[in-house]
Amino acid sequence: MTKFQDRAYLTGQQYSGANNLSARIRLHEQFTVTDVDLHRYLFDLLLAAAGSHAGVLEVGAGRGDLWRKNSDRVPAGWNVTLTDLSDGMLVDNRAYMGELAARFTYQQADAAALPFPDAAFDVVIANYMLYHVPDLPGTVRELRRVLRPGGVLMAATNGHNHMTEMNALAVRAGIIAETEASGLMGVHLVFTLQDGAQTLGAAFDDVARLDYPTHLRVTEAQPLIDYMLSMVDRAAPEKITALRA
Ligand SMILES: C[S@@+](CC[C@H](N)C(=O)[O-])C[C@H]1O[C@@H](n2cnc3c(N)ncnc32)[C@H](O)[C@@H]1O
């Protein structure tokens, strides 16, 4: 288990609020080269899967970008519950969401032990979070448990070469060892685009992998430094800022 799967670190430090996540989202928002916004693309898929009336659960909802970016088209017939392991993240989610927060039910919850009955939801969303759970097979079974038969799980994640150049910089700065193939966050080999379908296939009959091809063209140092700082211990910041030279 890496520290990025350690509940105490996740709730007490990394995701005690939205700051670290926001630094990473900023880099993607500023420098992603794509025709379609990621959250608009994901929401198109949800609309197609759920129709106009649905009970929707999001686990590991973070700051709620999926909803903020699609606030103009959340169907009135959707009953949406937003959950996260971190209470602090849920506080920041409400603040970021503003008036939109009134549309949702909020609850603190660990995706590995959800406080909901069997078959409670039509759709479950677990985006960019399954690499944080210590018991991945058990958590996938738990997501399946709260879905009604025929319900749909969306689980977006990164490919195994996600942020490769940044991880190479981290090796150069001596923040991670060259042998640490799991990258700066230490999770890039867990629940990836390449192995995700197989992992989900243990609990779901019908799994489809859909690719959202995109890349980053980063032209400023500071946002990249902020991104790296969002993932390192207090000991490493000087090493990262030294990279600027
Ligand atoms: C990388 S963020 C992704 C946030 C959001 N899903 C998104 O796509 O922007 C990961 C989130 O998962 C949450 N998380 C981590 N482990 C969790 C767990 N076991 N159960 C529920 N949430 C968890 C973190 O607190 C954090 O908000």
Render pLDDT for 143-186 as a digit per residue (tens, 0 to 9): 999 999 999 999 999 998 888 888 888 888 887 777 676 777 77
CATH number of the domain residue 217 falls in: 3.40.50.150
Euclidean distance between CA atoms 18 and 234, whole angstroms: 18
How many domains does the chain fold into? 1
In a domain, 46, yes or no: yes
The answer to whether residue 201 scores a pLDDT higher than 60 is yes
Spatial CA neighbour of 184 closest among 204, 162, 206? 162
In a domain, 68, yes or no: yes
What is the three-class DSSP state of 28?
Answer: helix
Q: How far, in Å, from the CA of 59 to the mean position of ligand 1? A: 7
Averaged pLDDT of the chain: 92
The helix (run of H) or strand (run of E) holding residue 173 is none
Q: Which structural domain range is residue 127 located in?
A: 3-158+187-222
Euclidean distance between CA atoms 96 and 65, whole angstroms: 9
Euclidean distance between CA atoms 120 and 148, whole angstroms: 6
Mean per-residue pLDDT, 208-228:
92
In a domain, 240, yes or no: no
Q: Percentage of residues in the chain with pLDDT exceeding 70?
A: 93
Euclidean distance between CA atoms 192 and 50, whole angstroms: 25
Under the banding of pLDDT at 50, 70 and 90, the label for residue 2 is confident
Q: What is the model's pLDDT at position 172?
A: 84
Mean per-residue pLDDT, 60-67:
98
In a domain, 171, yes or no: no
Of residues 208 and 169, more confidently modeled: 208
DSSP conformational letter for 110 = B
The answer to whether residue 233 scores a pLDDT higher than 80 is no
Euclidean distance between CA atoms 125 and 59, whole angstroms: 6
Ligand 1 pocket check for 89: Cβ under 6 Å: yes
If you take atom 24 of ligand 1, which residue's CA is the nearest one?
Answer: 60
Among 61-70, 145-154, 182-191, 230-239, the range scoring the smallest mean pLDDT is 230-239
Q: What is the model's pLDDT at position 47?
A: 97
In a domain, 238, yes or no: no
Ligand 1 pocket check for 185: Cβ under 6 Å: no
Ligand 1 pocket check for 92: Cβ under 6 Å: no
CA distances from 205 to 124, 149, 153, 157, 196 (A): 16, 11, 12, 20, 14
Ligand 1 pocket check for 10: Cβ under 6 Å: yes
Residue among 2, 45, 84 to mutate when testing ligand 1 (max atoms within 8 A of CB): 84
Q: What is the model's pLDDT at position 239?
A: 67
In a domain, 227, yes or no: no
Cβ neighbours of 202 (radius 10 Å) = 12
